[in-house]
Amino acid sequence: MTSVSKLRRHLPASALRLALLGSVMGIAAVAAAPAVSAQEIRVWSGYPELAPFYEHVAEGMKAQHPDLSVKVEAIALREHEKRLALGLTSGEAAEVIELGTSTATRYLENGLFNAAPDDIAAFVQDPANFNDFFRDSASYDGTVYGLPLFRGQSALYYNTEMFEAAGLTEPPTDMADYTKYAEALTQRDANGAPTVSGWSLRLSGGGQGIAEKFWINMFQYGESLVEQDAAGKWKADFANEQGRAALKQYLENVHTLKTVTIEMPADAEAFEREQTAMFIRESWVIGDIAAKAPDLSYATATLPRGSIVAPVSLWISGEGAEAEAAWAFAQAANEPDNLLWLLDNVGWLPNRSGLDYSAILKAKPALAAFVDYPDTYEFFSLPNIGPVEEILTRTAARLTEAFANPALASDDAAIDAVLVAMQDEINALLQREGLLAE
């Protein structure tokens, strides 16, 4: 069994679609949040764009909780993770903590998050509210600790005016097309140097992001960075034809075809400024474009095989009245009206089942690539294991070095050697933690 097949069992495309579009149930359990006495709580987030959402939730609670003061502190994700490492171990963390499951695992292993009260555990375990995948993402060793909130899920963004100018009428459907399209879309100066990249690849920046984005591309070739066996152990086994194809595509685009360079503007900011024609990213970019580049002509499309799904939940720390107020806030954040506000105004996809997205999709059709996909579409997630961040960071370091080496682009044996070294390092980390599969 691999990580992919395990996730398919938990999150088939049809099940996720049903979860997104099914009937709304269990609302009363969330709406009936208990009253709390005068209390101040803090909300720590790793996504600055989510600050308005949490403030919106707090504003909506005033009628039922007039004495509750909510302080939202949203900073960049990597800084947020550093803040958590210090805050949770010193007992100075916020009462409401937003965190992805893969990172939360280390704190769950050490008992640093509160177990959910019985009524909230029952709410999370109700299949009318969350499917098995999201229930499990907020649980540890069979006990519910968090309230699932939103997820990261990727799709292709492409500039429709640039596509039209290049004579492209449809988005790419396989990875070979991605390279062909990148060549057609790249704009160059008189000397042939690219001025607008055809395809913005993640070549630099935060380490984990580099490895995660490479994993997304490699997944389209049918391979994963780590896979789980039937015994629950993990192993890296990507030094093969699929892994080579994924890494070689990066190298060819950077060094041979020069459709993108390490120095060029990248990611959402570059797309919004029309400095790149297409890139792969999560749904939050739709809200960002609406705010920063409302006149941009663009569309979205599903990826050739499937996407990463990164579930994020709200976790609670503290005791007594603080913890009670924190759970009340987490419940309020999960009310359907607030979740629809989240999607409509911020762009992150809610995890809760039974939400009616029809009005939002009508106004923002770009969201369709994230909620309306083929039945064959597949999903994978980061493994919920302690060393996942070290694995991603070390992998990213090796990838960054490889991306900067033009000699690799035409040398399959050298690419294979990079993959073997990367694979061996991951397996050594898994062995150190007692997680390596045979």
Q: What is the pLDDT at residue 103?
A: 86
Residue 239 φ/ψ region, left for φ over 0, alpha for ψ in the -120 to 50 degree band, beta for the rest: beta
Q: What is the pLDDT at residue 375?
A: 84
Q: What is the DSSP letter of 62?
A: T
Convert 209-218 to b/e letters by CB count within 10 Å (16 or more is b): bbbbbbbbbb
Q: Report d(CA 367, CA 171) in Å as an integer.
A: 15
DSSP secondary structure of 167-223: T--S---SHHHHHHHHHHH-EE-TTS-EEEBSS----SSSHHHHHHHHHHHHHHTT-
Q: Report d(CA 328, CA 119) in Å as an integer.
A: 11
Q: Report d(CA 272, CA 266) in Å as an integer.
A: 10
Q: Report d(CA 221, CA 211) in Å as an integer.
A: 15
pLDDT along the chain (438 residues), means of 10: 37 38 36 57 95 97 94 93 89 93 87 96 96 91 95 95 98 97 98 97 84 96 95 95 98 97 94 98 90 96 94 94 95 97 92 92 92 87 86 95 96 98 97 94
Backbone angles phi, psi at 421, to 5 degrees: -65, -40
Which of 86, 87, 51, 91 lies closest to 71, judged by CA?
A: 51
Q: How many CB atoms lie within 10 A of CB 167?
A: 7
Cβ atoms of 179 and 253 closer than 8 Å? yes
Q: What is the pLDDT at residue 254?
A: 97
Residue 201 φ/ψ region, left for φ over 0, alpha for ψ in the -120 to 50 degree band, beta for the rest: beta
Q: Report d(CA 120, CA 328) in Å as an integer.
A: 10
Contacts of 44 (CB under 8 A, 6+ apart): 73, 74, 80, 83, 84, 87, 93, 94, 96, 97, 98
Q: What is the DSSP letter of 66?
A: T
Q: What is the pLDDT at residue 39?
A: 87
DSSP secondary structure of 385-418: -TTHHHHHHHHHHHHHHHHT-GGGTT-HHHHHHH
The Cα-based distances of 252 to 43, 172, 220 in angstroms read: 44, 18, 17
Residue 382 CA to its chain's centroid (Å):
9
